Amino acid sequence: MGLDFSVVPGFFDVIMQGVFWTIAITVAAAVLSFFGGIFFAVIALYAPRVISWPMKGFEWLFMGTPLLLQLFLIYFGLIQIGIDLPAFVAGSLGLGLHFAVYNSELIQTSILAVDKGQMEAARTLGLSRGQSLRYIVIPQAVRDVIPPIGNNMIALLKDSALVSVIGVTELTLSAQLAIGRTYRPFEFYAVAAVCYYIINLGMEAVLRRLERRVQASR
């Protein structure tokens, strides 16, 4: 059949829209996974057992099963209980929760590694436990895990391709739409791969810069 890239320019807008939504869902899920990760970590470490144990079970389940399976659960599960979320929201939620669990693991370890004297000093000044965590312990713990969290976010970008299966029209699904019209899978998947690669490079550059800034403020 051979290759013919001349059909690609006609779908420039479709592809660019896909790029936009890929970036949008990556950012939305990354933000959710960051704050969700902190939230889960605090619960796992400090909440009473009736809350922290189910939480740990949830983490265990999410770390031991494929993201794709989780996306199906969230998308169809929500519909089953009568919540019909737009695909973008369900996709962000699924991706964000999945990576929140991984971030939570990192943040938990990091919180435990913050010197005990920090909590003591904060409590001595009269800060409550919650205030001490919020202003003293967590900022330090998070700062220490920025590089590995950054790596998780890069993995998130690539895993965002999976939300195409639940109907989010991001880059992968956009490519598929173009393929449906042209029957040229190689050309459009190759174009999508190039776009992902470029977004990936950009994201790495942003993260390296962020790391350097955090390093410098020590």
Partner 1 sequence: MTHHRPFVDIRHAQKCFGELEVLKDISLQVEQQQIVAIIGPSGSGKSTLLRAINDLDPLTSGEVWLDGVQVNKLLPHAQYEKHINQVRQQIGMVFQHFNLFPHLTVRENITLAPKLLKGVSDDEANALAEQQLEHVGLIDRIDYHPSQLSGGQKQRVAIARALAMKPKLMLFDEATSALDPELVEEVNQVMKMLAEEAMTMIIVTHEMGFAESVCDRVLFMDGGVVVEEGAPEVVFHNPTQDRTKNFLRKHLEGAK
Partner 2 sequence: MDIDLILRVYPHFLKAAVLTIELSVLTAILGLICGSLGAAARLSRLKAIRFIGAAYVSLFRGTPALIQLFLLYFGGPQIGIQLDAFQAGVIGLGLNIGAYMTETIRGAIISVHKGQTEAARTLGMSRWQATRYVILPQAFRLMVRPLGVNINALIKGTALVAAISVVELTYTAQRYIGSTYKPFEMFILAGVLYMIIIYATGRGISWLDKKVRIQ
The site for partner 2 (CB under 8 A) is made up of: 1-3, 60-61, 64-70, 72-73, 76-77, 80, 158-162, 164-165, 172, 175, 179, 184-187, 189-190, 192-193, 196-197, 200-201
Determine, following the binding rule CB under 8 A, whether residue 136 of this chain makes contact with partner 1.
yes
Determine, following the binding rule CB under 8 A, whether residue 140 of this chain makes contact with partner 1.
yes
Binding mask 141-180 for partner 1 (x = CB under 8 A): --x-------------------------------------
User: What DSSP designation does 65 have?
Assistant: S
Nearest to 11 by CA among 197, 189, 198, 200: 189
Determine, following the binding rule CB under 8 A, whether residue 65 of this chain makes contact with partner 1.
no
Determine, following the binding rule CB under 8 A, whether residue 53 of this chain makes contact with partner 1.
no
Measure CA of the first residue to CA of the last residue in the chain; give whole Å. Answer: 58
3: three-class secondary structure by DSSP = coil
Residue closer to partner 1 by CB (options 181, 212) is 212
Check: CB of residue 41 under 8 Å from CB of residue 33. Answer: no
What lies within 8 Å, CB to CB, of 3 at 6+ separation is: 186, 187
Q: Which does 46 bind (CB under 5 to 8 A by kind): partner 2, partner 1, none?
A: none
Check: CB of residue 37 under 8 Å from CB of residue 103. Answer: yes
Select from 119-127, 154-162, 176-184, 199-207 the region that touches partner 1 (CB under 8 A).
119-127
Q: Which does 3 bind (CB under 5 to 8 A by kind): partner 1, partner 2, none?
A: partner 2
Run of H or E residues at 167: none
Q: How many residues bind partner 1 (CB under 8 A)?
A: 21
Rounded to 10°, the helix 49-64/87-113 angle is 110
Q: How far is the CB of 213 from partner 1 (least distance, A)?
A: 13
How far is it, in rounded angstroms, from Cα 49 to Cα 91? Answer: 30
How far is it, in rounded angstroms, from Cα 112 to Cα 196? Answer: 36
Q: Which residues bind partner 1 (CB under 8 A)?
A: 115, 117-118, 120-129, 131, 135-136, 139-140, 143, 217-218
